[in-house]
Structure 1
Amino acid sequence: MNLSNARAIVTGGASGLGAATAQHFRDRGAQVVVLDRDEAGAAYADSIGAGFARTDVTDEASVAAAIAHAVGVMDGIDLCVNCAGIAIGEKTVGREGPHRLDSFRRTVDINLVGSFNVLRLAAPEMARNGRDENGVIVNTASIAAFDGQAGQAAYAASKAGIAGMTLPVARDLARSGIRVCAIAPGIFGTPMLRGLPQDVQDSLAAEVTFPKRLGDPLEYARLAAFIFECGYLNGETIRLDGALRMR
């Protein structure tokens, strides 16, 4: 598996980790179709020479149409990276009462169910490649899956689900020649986080064991590329966090 001739789809590919991944894949020579719910993502995709499909990852018809578009543009799919997701902060019982059920459900629906919705529909297209190695799926977990903080019940649960389904999905898809891994990022310098005051960013970086800085989205992208090209990596969730352990 070589990224230079890969055909990739990247959900949430118009911003943050997804944008860095789409850009890195294009820089390495891969064909890319960006799947994002924001129509403005089309401009970003065009700027890096990628295709675009407006996609709601929680909607079956929307994802099916996006994958059909990607297959039409690239004549197949070899790599699926799921970066689409949201993060909320809400305590189980806070000053305004119990955690809202709708916000918990929405977080799980986008982060976990959305990722599964995309991979389950991408996998049959990969299987049609007819090779010994037909494709790779990379999902985005989080270190919150393992040591989530107060106010992260919904987010941590959704990301723990990503980590938890990695091995069984890898086992399910083994007979189709498809590998499945997840990346669990720590604190990364995405546009949302870079928008915080510098002293807040510095405080977050100080918590990282080493190196004491925020993660670079390109580091996520490089790890996704390595997973694709390293044929013996399968069924694993890889922490990418500078040894940060949240308290």
Structure 2
Amino acid sequence: MNIKDTVAVVTGGASGLGEAVVRYVAENGGKAVILDLAEERGTELAEELGSTALFVKTNVAEESSVQDALNKAVEQFGNINTVVNCAGIGVAKKVLSKKGVHELQSFSKVIEVNLIGTFNVVRLAAEKMTGNEPNESGERGVIINTASVAAFEGQIGQAAYSASKGGVAAMTMPLSRELAAFGIRVMTIAPGLFDTPMFSSLPEEARTALGKMTPFPSRLGKPAEYAQLAGSIIENPMLNGEVIRLDGAIRMQPK
């Protein structure tokens, strides 16, 4: 699928990895629909990009909220043929600590947003995509989800985050096998340490130290590099049913 033919729904599209994807799509001739709870930032980004973008305030874990956003996307651009799921949250808590036992509520919240929210968007977007006219390759759509290296080497305190991202990675194959019948591809990107708002509050010294954990290049990943990979996935029809690590060869240590 050519980027210029893309109408991409991007969750978490107002900042970080999602914003980079939105900009990449718009700059390469496609259309981007920004789904995010950050209303002010999402509106600003859509206004900056003009007619190539639309912002819809969306809670990915709520069925009605996502359905409304997808309906608005179709009304604005005629259809949707791409989804990039970047919305996510994290929590750093040990199961047992001096503060007590890990709260069930915080664990559930991470699962709700990162895993259930991803599936919610996938299922509702896939339903829309089945009505698309297939292109010359028989494609009706492509879905790109975001896992994490924490899905494979979760650190101490990442039980909730690792569980949620492990679930996203594990969904890749069954989703791709099922949706293949409709000409819809499903891929997952598992980033390493990236320069996103999650790290923005850290001192520069700490950010540099984190970046040096990556073998090469020894720095934090750039959101634009995530967007570049997403663009390659969109354009290469043979990429399907796979989890791609985008991590500079990092393998996370226990802590």
Q: Which residue of 2 is the match for residue 117 of structure 1?
A: 120
1:62 to 25, 41, 65: 65
Gaps of 5+ in 2: none
Q: Which amino acid aligns with 1:63?
A: V
Q: Which residue of 2 is the match for residue 101 of structure 1?
A: 104
3-state SS of 1:35 partner:
strand
- Range with greater deviation from structure 2 (187-196 or 9-18): 187-196
Mapped to 2, the partners of 1:198 and 1:156 lie a distance apart of 26
Mapped to 1, the partners of 2:104 and 2:252 lie a distance apart of 25
Q: Does residue 128 of the first structure (1) align with residue 131 of the second (2)?
A: yes
Residues 193-232 of structure 1: matches in 2 within 5 Å? 193-232=199-238
Mapped to 1, the partners of 2:246 and 2:71 lie a distance apart of 32
Q: Does residue 163 of the first structure (1) align with residue 169 of the second (2)?
A: yes
2:242 to 227, 236, 241: 236
State the 1:88 CA deviation. Answer: 0.8
Q: Which residue of 1 is the match for residue 17 of structure 2?
A: 17
3-state SS of 2:169 partner:
helix
1:84 to 57, 72, 87: 87
State the 1:63 CA deviation. Answer: 0.4
- Range with greater deviation from structure 2 (27-36 or 191-200): 191-200
| Identical aligned residues as a percent | 51
Q: Which residue of 1 is the match for residue 27 of structure 2?
A: 27
How many residues are paired up? 247
Mapped to 2, the partners of 1:211 and 1:42 lie a distance apart of 34
Q: Deviations over 1:55-77 (max 9, x none)?
A: 00010000000000001111001
- Range with greater deviation from structure 2 (6-15 or 39-48): 39-48
Q: Deviations over 1:186-230 (max 9, x none)?
A: 000113313310110111111101110110000000101100100
Residues 137-152 of structure 1: matches in 2 within 5 Å? 137-152=143-158
Mapped to 1, the partners of 2:237 and 2:5 lie a distance apart of 15
Q: Does residue 39 of the first structure (1) align with residue 39 of the second (2)?
A: yes
Q: Deviations over 1:32-51 (max 9, x none)?
A: 11001121111222212310
State the 1:126 CA deviation. Answer: 1.0
Mapped to 2, the partners of 1:110 and 1:160 lie a distance apart of 14
Normalised to the residue count of structure 2, the TM-score between the two structures is: 0.95
State the 1:112 CA deviation. Answer: 0.4
3-state SS of 1:147 partner:
coil
Mapped to 2, the partners of 1:9 and 1:52 lie a distance apart of 10
Mapped to 1, the partners of 2:118 and 2:30 lie a distance apart of 22
